Chain A
């Protein structure tokens, strides 16, 4: 919402400066987003007299002027304007000045061989209008040497942001009213502002126009007055300059009047060319499919939920939003009908949203205009038309009834302190409310002014009192501290998330935060598969209806695609090896149409693991075991007994079928998947290096039972552990992990560890078999093992291995 200081002062009698007004506007909740003084842009421009004008020696269309800028030192200026002549007074821009209409800086220059020390400016160059046929000519008594900004007078323009609750401030008058309430001046009577003798409807002579409302919900009230014999000329200077100051183009008297009243009073009106209407004008619901061409030149197709103003022939107005092109006024218009209606705010909002059509009228109606201002609005509009366009007014038709039921709030002045935290004397509260237009009963029943649709309860009144009294006066009060031992404020899941994030970074991984939404094709790569079903998850991507672009359409079903895109970008920038992780949600479908958002940790290890080195030789790329190491290390940090995990099952279609697996706790609970990604997936993401990946499903990690701080009792064994090596021949297809587990648990009393240290195929090992060597750690209890005991343990190990077809190598 824009308005100039001069415009505001039409309503507000104040001596305050623009800066003071700006500060007070901010303080009362009318946020000043901009305060611009057009005079600031006219620095370096001076009122100057042309002393002489000679033909340019080298150019027919140019003249060489001698200009007096008031300092007694005539300046030579080359000028192309046909109206430049000796004796005229204009505006001189001197070197260093920036031309507002062109944005360029003036410099001393040579034009066709003649030095020019500035520029005589046109109206357009000074951004005072469009005229550019010649230089601006000022009256003969304009004081030569005066800064043009001072001559022109300065009228700073405010740009304030109006919150959706304050329709009353979508007019300059409402802002003036708020400022007056805040003690920054007095509000002038409206009749005085419009130079009317009294704020009364024009007494009409002709018959009242035939209008009606057939849609009491969408358009509860439709007031109208006709005026005959008008001349739709140019609006008066005071109106045009005000509209121009806020960037609105003057169009014609009748249009400017409605625009002016809309900005000045927050009251939208519509003026019809009555000659273009056929029969009575009614507010009614549109018919499905009915069309109207509006003033913005577009055609809209309407439906039965929308309210329109129509005659017998066609729709002339999308009620409260935008008028129709057919019956709009033109310079030839002589017969007009002024509509001053009340449209239901919710109704307007829905229609506007459906049509994706915004307008100044919609903005005001959907926030709720003053339902008690129909008569006054119409009176002012008619007054202005009669004053400036002539003609005779008809009687007024008042169809329907605006919603005028007064709202009364019973208020307790103590609430100001209880909710607002500030003590304001009852008298002052009453005075503030009354200055804002509330009427306050002796029993503190407060009647809300008709223009304050947003007020509906005591807290609203507290807000009014506090904002006018000054929020700056609210003192800080410490929140009471809870007694007793502080409880942790993070849940176990949150603690786990924090710990894993730092564990991953401590392992050398860089945390990334990537978009929650992906291109559908990227998401689809990770959408389905056997893994999902194994986890009992519902399939189907969440797809946005109105994505910002197709690249941000599908909610990620996995953290890997987003990380892979980041990998691709980094590789493009020349990175050789990448270790990225992200800890965030993946989005699945839950019960009853809800979302199922599961915390996940994704890791990608791409390209070089170890760069070529003086001691390590050639660069080494990441492999599946790097992914396995990360998965196990992070699960261990999460408190998972990694020794009991099974490496099994398919990790999913996105992974290399032979170099990936899941980590399961029991047959069903998949805690993680890891391995090399499938080359087809990498190709989809334009990645040309191998990528190992891990996905940790944090939601699947079993919660640890609440335990006390004390650990289980433990004393390091007195006797040293001993190790024994076993080498077995097994079928080449036997998973080594199976053999290690068999050995590890062959003698639970004595074996505390089993570690595979060799996997060999080739010379000495029969075709189709492999040799696996395992180091077994034995822990003696009270006394050392004797030979017989060691032999018995070895036999148990061999027997357990034999169940898997393993044969001890001799």
Chain B
């Protein structure tokens, strides 16, 4: 009797094609007046003994049917979802909405790299005006008015009528010009902060010069250390340490040559050794090695006594060194651009190619440079 009432129901459940049909079967079996509910209700009228023998059987039937319905329901729902998902398929080869990528200009990136390297050596970043007076740009740096070096600087001047302080020359200013180097920041830093002092001063500088390798505006970074007992050996170490850190090469070799700058004594021109690899200059190794050469990189020297005095310090007590190097040049040497003029054109294709991700923040722990 029991099999008769159960088996057809189970078969129907297995075959239910829709959730609605399944629900109808559930109502027909387990519903209030369903066949199996009715069967369960018969237990109440049975004697204890009859209930003991039939009870478990009836409950087993109910459980079997309920489980079959649950299983069938899950199967039907799964199939329906799969069908739904199949309809919702997207062509994922279609382009996604584009979030534009921004970039950091190589000059900014390299300046951040320099600041990071020199911060480790205890140098702070200093600044000064670009529209300078001739006292800070020349006179205080031991370049008097008739000095041939002044003519060599190809200076941009502002009209005499722009004279600062009515034409007085001295720390209060004289003829206004565009600074030809970052060296006036030496004077300003000494006057403002005194000694001891360790600064780098990156920024724009200007020379009335324009050809394939010169632009009338470019970037320099000045370095200055004023302390007691600082000598040429410290200068050499500092430049070596800086250039090794900047190019991330242990084999950077420097050659110091005597030179002349009015504001340093002794003055030292610094060459860096390179190898010719497939016609390209790759820094590293001694320039005297076969297949190698020397490249002029920067000017430096021990700060002149008159310059220290112009900075308001006693040259018998304080001495130190200074150097200046082209930032654009460093960027070109490290990252391989070959046209300086393109730096200032703002061509987005160039900016995207040579620029840096904003998240490539130079850090000492991760390496200040960013690999291509």
How many angstroms from the CA of A509 to the CA of B351 in the assembled complex? Answer: 10
Cβ–Cβ contact A587 & B208, under 8 A: no
B56 at the A interface (CB under 8 A): no
Q: Are B351 and A512 in contact (CB under 8 A)?
A: yes
| Complex-state Cα separation, A481 to B237, whole angstroms | 13
Contact assessment for A471 and B258 in the assembled complex, using a CB-CB cutoff below 8 Å: yes
Q: Are B234 and A477 in contact (CB under 8 A)?
A: yes
- Given contact pairs A463-B266, A508-B100, A515 touches B225 in the complex (Cβ within 8 A): no
A609's closest neighbor in chain B, by CB?
B100
Whether B217 sits at the interface, judged by CB under 8 Å, is yes
Tell which of B16-24, B75-83, B159-167, B272-280 binds the partner: B159-167
Q: Mark A485-513, 1 if CB is under 8 A from B, else 0.
A: 01011110010001001111111111111
Chain B proximity mask over A455-494: 1 for CB below 8 Å, otherwise 0? 0010110110011000110111111011000101111001
Q: A459-B265, A515-B217 are in contact. Are A471 and B233 (CB under 8 A)?
A: no
Complex contact A479–B151 (CB within 8 A): no
Binary per-residue interface labels of chain B (204-236) against chain A in the complex, 1 for a CB within 8 Å, 0 otherwise? 101011100000110000000100011111111
**Taking the nearest CB of chain B, how far is it from the CB of A476, in angstroms?**
4
Q: Is B246 an interface residue (CB 8 A)?
A: no
A511's closest neighbor in chain B, by CB? B105
CB of A417 within 8 Å of the partner chain: yes
Report the nearest A residue to B200, measured CB to CB: A489
Residues of B within 8 A of A460 (CB): 265
Bound form: Cα–Cα A474–B359 in Å: 41
- Given A515-B344, A552-B216, A422 contacting B158 (CB threshold 8 A): no
Report yes or no: A542 in contact with B125, Cβ–Cβ below 8 A. Answer: no
Cα distance A474–B255 when bound, in Å?
10
CA distance A474 to B321 in the complex (A): 14
Shortest CB-to-CB span from A501 to chain B, Å, is: 6
- Do A594 and B164 form a contact, CB below 8 Å, given A421-B234, A575-B348? yes
Name which of A122-130, A148-156, A566-574 contacts chain B: A566-574
Taking CB atoms, residues of chain B closer than 8 Å to A422 are 232-233
Q: Is A733 an interface residue (CB 8 A)?
A: no
Q: Are A613 and B95 in contact (CB under 8 A)?
A: yes
User: Is A314 interfacial (CB 8 A cutoff)?
Assistant: no
**Complex CA–CA separation, A573 to B350 (angstroms):** 12
Within 8 Å of chain B (Cβ to Cβ): is A234?
no
Contacts of B157 in A (CB 8 A): 544-546
Neighbour of A459 across the interface among B103, B147, B225, B266, CB < 8 A: B266
Please name all residues of chain B whose beta carbon is closer than 8 Å to the beta carbon of A784 when the two chains form the complex. Answer: none
Tell me the minimal C-beta distance from B348 to chain A in angstroms.
Answer: 5
Determine how close the nearest CB of chain A comes to the CB of B68; give it in whole angstroms: 43
Question: Which B residues are in CB contact (< 8 Å) with A547?
Answer: 156
Report whether B165 and A592 are in contact in the complex, using a CB–CB cutoff of 8 Å: yes
Q: Report the nearest B residue to A616, measured CB to CB.
A: B97
Interface segment out of the listed A24-32, A332-340, A688-696, A739-747: A24-32
From B112, B146, B208, give the contact of A350 (CB < 8 A).
B146
The answer, yes or no, to whether A367 is at the interface (CB within 8 Å) is: yes
CB-defined contacts of B98 to chain A, threshold 8 Å: 611
CB pair A516–B204 under 8 Å, yes or no, is yes
Q: How many residues of A contact B (CB 8 A)?
A: 100
Whether A507 contacts B97 in the complex (CB less than 8 A), given A498-B112, A593-B165, comes out as no
B148 interface residue (CB < 8 Å to A) = yes
Which chain A residues (580-594) contact chain B, with CB distance < 8 Å?
580, 583-585, 587, 592-594
Residues of A within 8 A of B343 (CB): 513
B216 touches A548 (CB 8 A): yes
Looking at A159-167, A223-231, A660-668, the stretch in contact with chain B turns out to be A159-167
Shortest Cβ distance from B231 into chain A, in angstroms? 4
List residues of chain A with CB within 8 A of the CB of B112: 498
Interface of B, helix, strand, loop or mixed by DSSP: mixed
Residue contact A579 to B208, C-beta cutoff 8 Å: no
List, in ascending order, chain A residues with CB within 8 A of B230's CB.
479
Q: Are B173 and A29 in contact (CB under 8 A)?
A: no
Whether B231 lies near A417 (C-beta < 8 A) is: yes
B118 x A489 contact (CB < 8 A): yes
Would B130 and A516 count as touching, CB distance under 8 A? Answer: yes
Q: Tell yes or no: B358 within 8 A of A by CB.
A: yes
A514 at the interface (CB under 8 A from B): yes
**Chain A residues within 8 Å of B267, by CB:** 463
8 Å CB contact of A513 from B102, B344, B359: B344
Output the residue of A163, A481, A488, A542 with the most chain B CB within 10 A: A163
CB <8 Å contact, B266 and A542:
no
Would A419 and B302 count as touching, CB distance under 8 A?
A: yes
Size category of the B interface is 35 or more
Knowing A349-B147, A419-B319 are in contact, say whether A474-B233 is a contact too (CB < 8 A).
Answer: yes
Complex interface: chain A residues within 8 A of B210 (CB): 548
Assess the A563–B130 pair: CB atoms within 8 A.
Answer: no
> Which residues does chain B contribute within 8 Å of A552, judged by CB atoms?
216
Residues of B within 8 A of A611 (CB): 98
Q: Does any Cβ of A come within 8 Å of B32's Cβ?
A: no
Chain B, residue nearest A479 (CB): B234
- A508 lies within 8 A of B159 (CB): no
In the complex, how many angstroms separate the beta carbon of A569 from the nearest chain B beta carbon? 7
Q: A502 with B236: in contact, given A490-B125, A514-B346 (CB under 8 Å)?
A: no
In the complex the two chains form, is A420's CB within 8 Å of B100's CB? no
Interface string of B338-351 (1 = CB under 8 A from A): 00000111111101
* Given A463-B266, A494-B125, A566-B345, CB of A546 within 8 Å of CB of B208: yes
Q: How far is the CA of A481 from the CA of B235 in the complex (A)?
A: 14
Rounded to whole angstroms, the CA-CA distance of A573 and B181 in the bound complex is 34
Contacts of B152 in A (CB 8 A): 164
Does B123 interact with chain A (Cβ within 8 Å)?
yes
Which residue in chain A gives the minimum CB-CB distance to B131? A595
Which residue of the partner chain B has the closest CB to A166? B260
Q: Which residue of B lies closest to A581 (CB)?
A: B102
Q: Is B259 an interface residue (CB 8 A)?
A: yes
How far in angstroms is the closest Cβ of chain A from B236? 5
A565 vs B344: C-alpha distance when bound (angstroms): 11
Smallest CB-CB separation from A362: which chain B residue?
A: B148
Residues of B within 8 A of A53 (CB): none
- The answer for the CA separation of A516 and B215 in the assembled complex, in Å, is 12
- Could you tell me the distance in whole angstroms from the C-beta of B358 to the nearest C-beta in chain A? 4
Q: Counting CB contacts under 8 A, is A71 at the interface?
A: no
A367 and B125 within 8 A (CB): no
Cα separation A462 to B344 with both chains bound (whole Å): 42
> Which residues of A lie under 8 Å from residue B178 when comparing CB positions?
516, 544
Indicate if B129 sits at the interface (CB-CB under 8 A).
yes
* Residue contact B164 to A420, C-beta cutoff 8 Å: no
> Could you tell me the distance between the alpha carbons of A421 and B216 in the complex, rounded to whole angstroms?
37
**Looking at the complex, which one of B101, B119, B259, B347 makes contact with A573 (CB distance below 8 Å)?**
B347
Minimum C-beta distance from A142 to chain B (A): 37
Chain B residues within 8 Å of A594, by CB = 129, 131, 133, 164, 173
* Chain B residues, Cβ within 8 Å of A513: 105, 107-108, 343-344, 346
**C-alpha gap A345/B145 in the complex (Å):** 12
Chain B residues lying within 8 Å of A466, measured Cβ to Cβ, are 232, 258, 266
Q: Does B72 belong to the interface (CB within 8 Å)?
A: no
Residue B57 CB within 8 A of the other chain: no
- Tell me how far the C-beta of B109 lies from the nearest C-beta in chain A, rounded to whole angstroms: 9
The digit string for A357-396, where 1 denotes a CB below 8 A from any CB of B, is 0000000001100000000000000000000000000000
Is B260 touching A419 in the complex (CB atoms < 8 A)? no
Which chain B residues border A506 with CB–CB below 8 Å? 102, 358-359
Residue from the list B229, B237, B257, B358 in contact with A478, Cβ < 8 A: B237
Q: Could you tell me the distance in whole angstroms from the C-beta of A172 to the nearest C-beta in chain B?
A: 20
A-B contact sample (12 more), CB < 8 A, given A476-B236, A514-B346, A542-B162: A349-B146, A349-B151, A421-B233, A479-B230, A505-B357, A505-B358, A512-B351, A573-B347, A597-B130, A611-B98, A614-B95, A615-B94
The 5 closest A-B pairs by CB, nearest first: A566-B346, A29-B258, A421-B233, A163-B260, A595-B131
Query: Would you list 21 pairs from A and B whose C-beta atoms are within 8 A, ordered by A residue?
Result: A163-B260, A366-B148, A419-B266, A463-B258, A471-B258, A471-B268, A478-B241, A481-B122, A508-B99, A511-B108, A513-B108, A546-B157, A548-B156, A548-B210, A565-B346, A566-B347, A570-B348, A579-B100, A584-B204, A585-B130, A593-B163
